[in-house]
Amino acid sequence: GSEMCIRDRLRQARAVSDPEDVELTPAEQNVRLMKRSSLEHNIGAIHYWQGEHEAAIAAFRRGVATMGAARGPDHPDVVDSLEGVVYACEAIGDLLCAEAHASRILQILEDSRGPDHPTVIRALTALGAVEYAKGDLESVQERFERAIQIAAGSPEPVRTRRHVLGAELAAILRERGDYEGAWALANAAYVAFEAATDPQLAEHRAAALRELSMVASEQGRHAEAIDYLERTLTASRDNDFGRTNGLVIQLTRVFVLTRAGELDTAIAAAEEGLVEARENPGSIDAQLFLMRVIEALLARDSTGDHERAAAMFAELEASAEGGKGPRAMIADELAELRAALEG
């Protein structure tokens, strides 16, 4: 494919760049190292998008090492390749590796830019994402609250990000049972982006609507939840939000319909999403859709539903053990589903 061709060309460029036996001044040596670092980073990115995560980690680490040799191990220029390591480690479920590198990024940016610099937001959210995968919601909340505070004190366009971050924090508060706090943040984000015409801001508006739907559903306000969901779906149809956001919206739809008792529709929607999510075997998307199908089947409990749920649970466990999705992220729900099946 074209990505393999690009990767091969990058490798060739690495192999022939600046012969080792040529004497270079220190400045020329640094330039050479930075070029090599860029090549390694790009090779890592190609490996990552092809699902070759171990190879990606190795390439990104070479990028970190060569940039560190040129600019210093704690220079901000090493951050891009360090982020590559974080994402690749997350993809293989190595959350200790991801957390260690995300923490290093945060330290580098705090030390080099200052603790309240806008670039620190990216480090806080990256570390928060790893902590979320580990199930440490308290730490995630702290990271996002600090990120929102930094964004609120920054000039535009960074200042607007406080609402984007607020909608993301709303999901954490909802999972922690703080529905009032979650509603306030999601509603503030929706109001901020209500009149937006820019496609990216429209996507943020839809994310806020989706979260409002989830909170209403959790509180048993099912008609209201479905109304917010329909508005989210309309926004998705009017603006091409892409495959990933489409799957997220579909998951929300299944969640809301299940809790509203519309189980036949929920199962059909979950199975539709599962077909698409299975295109990436072992992904967290496929695992989440499997959980939603199982949950709805057990709630409906018609003839054959328990057997179908048990078969899907076996697939879910195998996927969570050996796939790319972090098991810690869904461990509690796995335990609840197992108890429901055995009960």
Do residues 67 and 34 lie in contact, with contact meaning Cβ atoms separated by under 8 Å? Answer: yes
Cα–Cα dist 140/220, whole Å: 26
Closest among 283, 340, 280 to 310, alpha carbons compared: 340
Mean pLDDT taken over the chain: 86
pLDDT of res. 21: 54
pLDDT tens digits, residue range 21-35? Answer: 567 788 888 888 999
pLDDT tens digits, residue range 313-338? Answer: 888 888 766 444 445 566 777 788 88
Cα–Cα dist 209/194, whole Å: 10
Please state the length of the chain: 343
How far separated are the first and last CA of the chain, in Å rounded?
49
DSSP letters, 246-292, are HHHHHHHHHHHHHHTT-HHHHHHHHHHHHHHHTTSTT-HHHHHHHHH
Residue 82 burial class via C-beta count within 10 angstroms: exposed 0-12, middle 13-18, buried 19 and up: buried
160 DSSP assignment? G
pLDDT of res. 323: 44
Of the chain, the percentage scoring pLDDT greater than 70 comes to: 86
pLDDT tens digits, residue range 190-218? Answer: 999 887 777 778 888 888 999 999 999 99
